[in-house]
Every structure is written in C-alpha cells, then in structure tokens.
Chains A and B, each alone.
Chain A
Amino acid sequence: MDLLTEIAILVLAAFVGFEVISKVPNTLHTPLMSGTNAIHGIVVLGGILLIGPAQGFLNDLLLVIAIAFGTINVVGGFLVTDRMLEMFKGKKPDPKEPGGEAGGERQRDR
C-alpha cells in the first residue's frame, strides 16, 4: 500500500478516536480504558503475519511470545471489561432488565 494512503488512514483514525471518546461520563472511564486496552491487542495480527516470513529459532520464539502476549491482551481485556460492565447492567432504571440478575451472576463468579 502507498505510504501516503496509510498516513491518510492513520490521521482519519486519529480524528475518529478523538471524536468517539470525548464526553464520556467519569463512571465509564475505567471500562472504557479497559475496552480500548483490549483493542490494541490487535498487535497479535502482526505476530501471526510475521511467523511465515521470519525464519530461525529465535525469531519463532519471540513471535510465539508476542502472539501469547497479544492474545492475553485481547482475551483478558475484553473479559475484564465485560465483567466490569455487567455491574452497570440493570442498575439503570430500565424495566426490561431486572436488577437482581446481574448481581446474582456476579456473586457466583467471585
């Protein structure tokens, strides 16, 4: 891909990132940080892509570690965010979501 095209994508993504996050209530700062944290686990793709072209034991070893790290970041990040957010579910005055359920669920997995 053309370098300038990549930079155009980069800049647009930056603006989207700024735009999508401004004005978030404090309450959701932690889950939001945790959620974005999970998204940068996308680096796992880099590890997967390089494992073909890269040769040699050390390269393979480093890449396996990188893939493991990336996977921890993705899987752990989304799971932790989900657990945090479960606690907000049903706490809002939303008749469709009975409040007790989320609470009971949580007590069990602690």
Chain B
Amino acid sequence: MSRNDWIQLLYIVAFSMFIIGLHMLRGPRTAVRGNQIAAVGMAVAVFATLLNRAIGDWVLIVVGVAIGTAVGVPAARSVKMTAMPQMVALFNGVGGGAVALISVVEFRSVSDIELRSLIPILFAAIIGSISFWGSNIAFLKLQEILRRGIRTPKAVNFGLLAIAVILAVIIAAGSDSEALFWLILIAAGALGVLAVVPIGGADMPVVISTLNAFTGLSAAAAGIALQNTALIVAGMLVGASGSILTKQMADAMNRSIANVFFAGVGAGGGALVAHEGGGTARSTSAADVAIQLSYARLVVVAPGYGMAVAQAQRAVADLTTELEKRGVEVLFAIHPVAGRMPGHMNVLLAEADVPYEKLKEMDDINGEFARTDVTLVIGANDVTNPAARTVPDSPIYGMPILDVDKSASVIVLKRSMASGFAGIDNPLFYDPKTAMLFGDAKTSVSDIISEVQAL
C-alpha cells in the first residue's frame, strides 16, 4: 500500500468514529463516550493528514495549532455553564472563519483552478463568511454586548446575497481578480451580520443551529475542492444533522426556518401588542410564596433564561428538596426553546443535581397544569406567554407554549416588569391568579427557601 492509501484508510477510520460518536450522543448514558470517540476520530484525521508528503512548513502548523490550543482550552475550561450558548456560537464562528480563509488561500495560490474545484471554493467562501460573521453577532447578542438590532429590509439581505452570487459567477466564468473574491467575502459577511442582528429571544437557538449547519456545509464544500474525504464526510454529517436539529427546533415553535430569519420575533421595530386589558400586575412577597408552595400538592417549575443569568439553578434545586421534604411533588416544565439554546435548562438543572426524571418536556407537562396548584415561573417569559394562543396578531402567535396559566395559581419570578428578550408584553402577568415576585431570581429563591424553613 502506498502512503496515500494509508492516509485514505485512516480517514475512513476517522469518519467512522465521527458517525459512531454522533450516534452515541443520542443517549445520556453513552453520550460522554460518544464525544470522546469523535474526539479520537479527529486526532486520527489530523495524524493522517500530517503523513502527507506535500506538507509544507511544519513550524507554521505548530504555531497555528499552539495558538488555537492556547486560546481554545482555557476558554472551554473556564466558561460558565450559563455562558455555554455564547461559547458554542464563538467556536462555530471560528470554524466558519477557517473555511473562509482556506478558500481565499486556495483561490490565491492555485493558478488556473479547475471549475470542479472553483465552484465549491466559492460556495465555501460565501457560506463560511456568513457563518463567521453571523456567529460573532450571535455571540455579541447572547453576551448582551449588543442589545437590540435594527431589522434591515429583506431586499437588502437578498441584494447582498445576489451580489455575492453574481461576483462568484463572474469568477467562475474566468475572472481571476482577487479583489472580486474579497468582495464576495465582504458581501457574505455583511449578510451574516445583518441577518442575525435583529434576531432575539426564543429564536436564538435556531440561529446558532443554522449557522452550525452552515459551517458544516462549507467544510464539506472545502473538502470537495481539496478532494479530501474526511472533510467531505465530516462536514456533510454536520451539515445534515445540524439541519435536522434546526428543523426540530423550528417545529417546536411552530414556525418555518425562513420565518425565523425574515419575520422574526425579535424584530426591533415590530409593534408588539398583547396586553389590552389595562390590568395591573400584582406583586407578592417571599413569605407569601413560601406558604403557597409549602401547602401545595403539586408544584411545577417553569424555568427560563432568567434562571440561567441569575445562576439560580442550585437554589432552585435546594428549594425543590425543601418542598419534597414537606411532601410536595415538584416537577419541571421544560419548553424546547427555553433559555438561549435547546436543552439549555436541562443542562443547568442537571448541573444542580435535579434528577433527570423530574424534567418534563412540554407535551408531557401541559396536561398536568390543570391539576397543578402552583406554577413557579423563574425567569421565563415568551415561552409562557398565552398571547401565543389567543392574540392572532402577536408575533409569537401559534408558537406552542407551556400552559402555565391553566394551573390554579402562578408565581412569576422576574427582575422587573420589562418585557422578555423578544420584547413582547405578556398578559400572563396581568392574570388575576398571577402574582409577581420581583428581584434577582437567585436572591428570590433563596429568600423563599428561608421562609419555607421558617414555617
């Protein structure tokens, strides 16, 4: 066997390990091992690539890998669980950036590129650039550095896409102008920025997942250009699985993916009507809440992003333990897009040692609200907003929500009366059976715990 055959063989080993790893990521018991297998697969792929005779400057490779490791490892080690979504967005972004840069170099360094390589290179450049800039904006939004964005007219976004595609066609038709190539990257990058800037709230997970799929697709395209099977398979695996995941999330909100990007909930300018009754929200005290909770039979906790920012998950877990000691049944209602990522709440609550079986998915818990005595909404807003059921002109109309308003009483823990990330007023807060407990979620929950203990 030639050296190249060995490389190809190792690539087959590598992508098999990716597939096995992904498969194992489907169950909580096997997931850790699955992730490790995929990581070993990656090591095999890198090793195989280094066997290549055409490898040039080793020093540069070592420098690049060293910088990447020096940045990536500490970031991944130190990031707080609550900041995970941002971190994933960033890691995704740099992946897209790498694809875009590789496509530039390939275009610059190979003269007379064949069309069969050139077309995938152009595709990789466009998608990679969208993913890089889009992910960075997603990071800034999740980190709340960038608050609210202006929605650019659809025509501008389509115009940018058209510019990128037209320039790509010009290059494919024979122009070897490097300036045009950079312009493609700029147009695609601007599209990435403008498309993500206005998106917020419950839509963020869909955005990150879409960009994840994009980076995968662009990597696959780069693989075709470089004639590298490991890149093709791994990139496409991510492209396909990312698309499925995106679709599952969009389905959970009863919206199409196009709708998320072009008519989004987080629209800065949209008129957001919901509350017309003119009612006032009733505020309550930790002591009152403690009494209500302690004498309930079934309490359902509906957590949202507010719990994540306040780092309240441990306090919530402690409260659960306290209540259970008193014979109260406590369940958690997890909306598929609660928080800023699918599964965000599950991760946080698992971290705080809340047993897996207590976390109920939306479809399972919605039937339970009718027999629930108290629902404790902790920093969740849009996913509990009854306007999604009742107000046809609300931007979230039609999105499946947690039917918390069907329980006997509702307590909402919230920092202030400000509307959610999506900027929509929530009639739940004005419902006569709802009481508001204002303040930082962690402090409020701790207060409730001490009141419960004092009873």
B97 interface residue, CB < 8 Å from A? yes
Contact with A along B57-91 (1 / 0, CB 8 A): 10011011101110111011101110011011001
* Pairwise interchain contact A48-B72, C-beta atoms closer than 8 A: no
* Pairwise interchain contact A69-B245, C-beta atoms closer than 8 A: no
* Pairwise interchain contact B64-A68, C-beta atoms closer than 8 A: yes
Q: How many Å lie between the Cα of A51 and that of B58 in the bound state?
A: 9
Contacts A28-B25, A40-B95 given; indicate if A51 touches B56 (C-beta within 8 A): yes
In the complex, what residues of A have CB within 8 A of residue B242's CB?
33, 36
User: What is the interface of chain A mostly: helix, strand, loop, or mixed?
Assistant: helix
- For chain B, which range describes its interface: under 10, 10 to 19, 20 to 34, or 35 or more residues? 35 or more
Contacts A42-B230, A45-B230 given; indicate if A79 touches B98 (C-beta within 8 A): no
User: What is the interface of chain B mostly: helix, strand, loop, or mixed?
Assistant: helix
Q: How many Å lie between the Cα of A59 and that of B356 in the bound state?
A: 50
- For chain A, which range describes its interface: under 10, 10 to 19, 20 to 34, or 35 or more residues? 35 or more
B387 CB → nearest A CB, Å: 23
* Pairwise interchain contact A15-B240, C-beta atoms closer than 8 A: yes
Nearest 6 CB-CB pairs, A to B?
A71-B68, A17-B240, A67-B64, A52-B56, A29-B342, A76-B72
Residues of chain A having any CB pair with chain B under 8 Å: 1, 3, 6-7, 9-10, 13-18, 20-56, 58-60, 62-89, 91-92, 94, 99, 103, 106, 109-110
Given contact pairs A25-B26, A74-B42, enumerate 14 new A-B contacts (beta carbons under 8 Å): A27-B28, A29-B248, A34-B84, A36-B216, A40-B235, A41-B91, A42-B45, A45-B228, A71-B68, A80-B76, A80-B84, A80-B91, A84-B81, A106-B351
Residues of chain B having any CB pair with chain A under 8 Å: 15, 18-19, 21-23, 25-29, 31-32, 34-36, 38-39, 42, 45-46, 49-50, 52, 54-57, 60-61, 63-65, 67-69, 71-73, 75-77, 79-81, 84-85, 87-88, 91-92, 94-95, 97-99, 101-102, 104-106, 108-110, 116, 205, 208-209, 212, 215-216, 218-220, 222-224, 226-245, 248-249, 334, 336, 341-344, 346-347, 350-351, 353, 355-356, 359, 361
